[in-house]
Structure 1
Amino acid sequence: MGIKHVAPVGVLLAATALLGAPAQARVADAPAAAGSPDLRTGAVPAAAHHEREPVGGSRLGGRGLILPAGVKAPPKTAAKSYVIADAETGEVLAAKDAHGRYLPASTLKALTALTLIPKLDKKLKITPSRRAVNEEGSAVGLVPKPLYTVEDLFKALMLVSGNDCAMALAEANGGLATTLADMNAEARRLQAFDTVAKTPSGLDKPGQSSSAYDLALIARAGLANADFRRYISTKTDKFPAPKGYYEIGNHNKLLWRYKGMIGVKNGWTSKALGSFVGAAKRDGHTVIVSIMRHDGYFWEEVADLLDWGFANRGKVVPVGQLVDPVPEPAPLPTGPAASAPPAAAPELPAPVSAQDPAAATRPADEGVPATYYALGAVLLTVLLGGLTWLAYGLRGRSRRAR
């Protein structure tokens, strides 16, 4: 009868515990399905908020006003959600429902630009498709002719919020599906986990969402890109037309009114209501303000929030942090380093067959514990001893019989 392989007791106990555990315990760490904003209200149901530890700090998981102790609250705003942050340090100075997920409207174009600027040649000529030309909502007025460069489309995207430009740029990037995949990958890289892009323009679509925190992350990353910064800060420019050009002007009213305003993006739809993310620089320091779900005229309120940010940056204990993007993977070595011979492996003990020549004829170990081999050796010794004793006894009887 052969020896049966028996699983160690610890393994059996662990397997029993796992199989006997309630299903709820086994899936407790699995991420829950993300909620989608209600297209009637623009908000995500409360139960769908904050399914994981809030990015940027535990305090940012609160739904109400979050501010440092001993500091006068920021000026009132009708926005349901906002973030005030220091762009240099990433410190969140104050917030309200920072991770509340809402329809982003055209503020999503900041993510579109940030994603596509590194991918498209600014000098590339574009012929917009009929679909792009007929895109609904705000538009710069494209025609299906090879009049435009990628540079022209980025300017109109960020100045006049051209939905037609968003679609034309997406097509230049390999199509809508590819561009949305790229945008969502960029959001993950930034750790903007509240953001889901379903359109490149920000037009309302089920499942699309962002948050005031994510808009601040996106703006901060965009400010580090020279082209992005140039587009958002341009007040007016010339745009190609079939017969010459026409002038376009930036929809961000604070570029004309607020000292030090750099820009970024505003947005509005009837379902999302008003949203805005912007940055301004004064005395060498940059403050970012993002708001979502505002039901009225918000420009003066945003200016007041920026003033509060400049007055308190560097003086208060932050309530959270704008996290840095996920680091890029280290590039593989090239050139001489890639062709260099591998380092010498450390010297290992001689194999068993070299230490014991007889071991070379033994079959390879297929997982049987070494103790089984020892037990076999003992049994073999006993068996041989028994046979020797039996042979000796038989020989003695034979002698007596003679």
Structure 2
Amino acid sequence: MKHVAPVGVLLAATTFLGVSAHAETEPVGGTQLGERGVVAPAGVKAPPKTAAKAYVIADAETGEVLAAKDPHGRYLPASTLKALTALTLIPKLDKSQKVKPSTRAVNEEGSAVGLVSKPIYTVQDLFKALLLVSGNDCAMALAEANGGVAKTLQEMNAEAKRLQAFDTVAKTPSGLDKPGQSSSAYDLALIARAGLANDDFQRYISTKTDKFPAPKGYYEIGNHNKLLWRYKGMIGVKNGWTSKALGSFVGAARRNGHTIIVSIMRHDGYFWDEVADLLDWGFATRGKTAPVGRLVDPVPEAAPLPTATASSPAAPVAPSGGTTGAGPASGFGGIPAAGLYVLGAGLLGGVVWLVYGIRRRSR
């Protein structure tokens, strides 16, 4: 007899993903976030103008997107991508591990902290320099400590999918421009929000100055995020710039128990004052109007499949054509329980890739 997958399994799969049967054709976070121009709520003062081609203003606690401009537009992220690098690698690397950077890492182009090929750095030192002074050499050294650049990029892109940051494609761990690399203002806000939930990430991004090892002693490094020094309640996250990407930034500030996230992309000038204005608008507007969208939650981790233990009694062997009894080995509609687990996992995987594929094609 041919068995059809129970409807409950399919519904469970879509619920598990946090999407509805109709969500696949909508932009992540809501229909309005598919617009290319400014998306702002009615009944309140319009958000401040900015030269950035794209931005998002969101409430970190609720996930409400308060206003946006081309939120899913794909742009080069520059060093804002280092936020994803850190978020991916912090849980994987021992912060006290000593690292000897390779010649390749030491000679990485662009912004650098000035590494040397000596085992004088801890992973924690490298994370600090990655996020404070945007060290491309540190990004490479961390990727090597994680098993190599290819492995690290695979894990960064997997983390982006877990966050439902489907506009993001990492091609370098540093954010240096490379064909095919992209992110969006919406995705940067998702990444920052997830980072704020990690104590180490938040500690690194909020550090203003610190000591960094040198062959003889140490020297001081200072955070490139100018708003840490002059915006009340600034927590920090990451800024970036390349000649092709232009200016980009994602940051968060906390006032009166509330946190606002602002991300901007492709700004051709000095953006710090404009970001401060966008943050001010976010604090003044939150809770006073309906949101224009939402920062979605990460896809939950899949529960591990049950496995037999050495102390468990062997399951009775069923005669051909059926299962035995209605005990733990039984399933639904004649399908063994183990078969249902496999079926559910297979369906879930299929739904994940279906949603991901449709969303990518819809951009």
TM-score (normalised: structure 2): 0.79
* Post-superposition CA distance 1:367-392 (Å, at most 9, x none): xxxxxxxxxxxxxxxxxxxxxxxxxx
Match runs of 1:118-137 below 5 Å: 118-137=91-110
| Separation of aligned partners in 2, 1:287 and 1:345 | 56
**Corresponding residue for residue 139 of structure 1:** 112
**Corresponding residue for residue 288 of structure 2:** 315
| Separation of aligned partners in 2, 1:147 and 1:284 | 39
Which residue among 218, 224, 231 is the counterpart of 2:204?
A: 231
| Separation of aligned partners in 2, 1:75 and 1:204 | 29
**Corresponding residue for residue 187 of structure 2:** 214
CA RMSD across the alignment: 1.9
**Corresponding residue for residue 256 of structure 2:** 283
Which residue among 345, 359, 369 is the counterpart of 2:325?
A: 345
Which residue among 57, 61, 64 is the counterpart of 1:88?
A: 61
**Corresponding residue for residue 244 of structure 1:** 217
**Corresponding residue for residue 17 of structure 1:** none
| Separation of aligned partners in 2, 1:99 and 1:341 | 53
**Corresponding residue for residue 196 of structure 1:** 169
* Post-superposition CA distance 1:191-228 (Å, at most 9, x none): 00000000000000000000000000000000000000
* Post-superposition CA distance 1:93-147 (Å, at most 9, x none): 0000000000000000000000000000001000000000000000000000001
| Separation of aligned partners in 1, 2:172 and 2:311 | 42
Shift of 1:335: 9.3
Cα 1:342/1:86, change in 2 over 3 Å:
farther
| Separation of aligned partners in 2, 1:106 and 1:259 | 24
Residue type matched to 2:218 in 1? Answer: Y
Shift of 1:52: 5.0
| Separation of aligned partners in 2, 1:74 and 1:201 | 31
- Which secondary structure does the structure 1 equivalent of 2:266 belong to? strand
Cα 1:316/1:244, change in 2 over 3 Å:
same
Residue type matched to 1:345 in 2? Answer: G
| Separation of aligned partners in 1, 2:310 and 2:67 | 48
Shift of 1:334: 7.2
Cα 1:162/1:340, change in 2 over 3 Å:
farther
| Separation of aligned partners in 1, 2:44 and 2:308 | 57
**Corresponding residue for residue 66 of structure 1:** 39
Cα 1:331/1:253, change in 2 over 3 Å:
same
**Corresponding residue for residue 177 of structure 1:** 150
Unaligned runs of 5+ residues in structure 1 are 1-50, 349-402
Show structure 1 runs of 4+ deviating over 6 A. 334-338, 340-344
| Separation of aligned partners in 2, 1:61 and 1:282 | 30
| Separation of aligned partners in 2, 1:91 and 1:337 | 49
**Corresponding residue for residue 136 of structure 2:** 163
Residue type matched to 2:325 in 1? Answer: A
- Which secondary structure does the structure 1 equivalent of 2:56 belong to? strand
- Which secondary structure does the structure 1 equivalent of 2:174 belong to? coil
- Are 1:264 and 2:237 matched, yes or no? yes
| Separation of aligned partners in 1, 2:221 and 2:281 | 32
Shift of 1:342: 6.4
Cα 1:338/1:176, change in 2 over 3 Å:
farther
TM-score (normalised: structure 1): 0.72
- Which secondary structure does the structure 2 equivalent of 1:264 belong to? strand
Which residue among 90, 114, 125 is the counterpart of 1:152?
A: 125
Cα 1:131/1:316, change in 2 over 3 Å:
same
* Post-superposition CA distance 1:176-205 (Å, at most 9, x none): 000000000000000000000000000000
Identity of paired residues, percent?
85
Structure whose alpha-carbon radius of gyration is higher: 1
Which residue among 266, 285, 288 is the counterpart of 1:293?
A: 266
* Post-superposition CA distance 1:57-99 (Å, at most 9, x none): 0100000010111221111100000000000000000000000
Cα 1:338/1:247, change in 2 over 3 Å:
farther
Aligned residues: 298
| Separation of aligned partners in 1, 2:202 and 2:310 | 37
| Separation of aligned partners in 2, 1:302 and 1:335 | 55
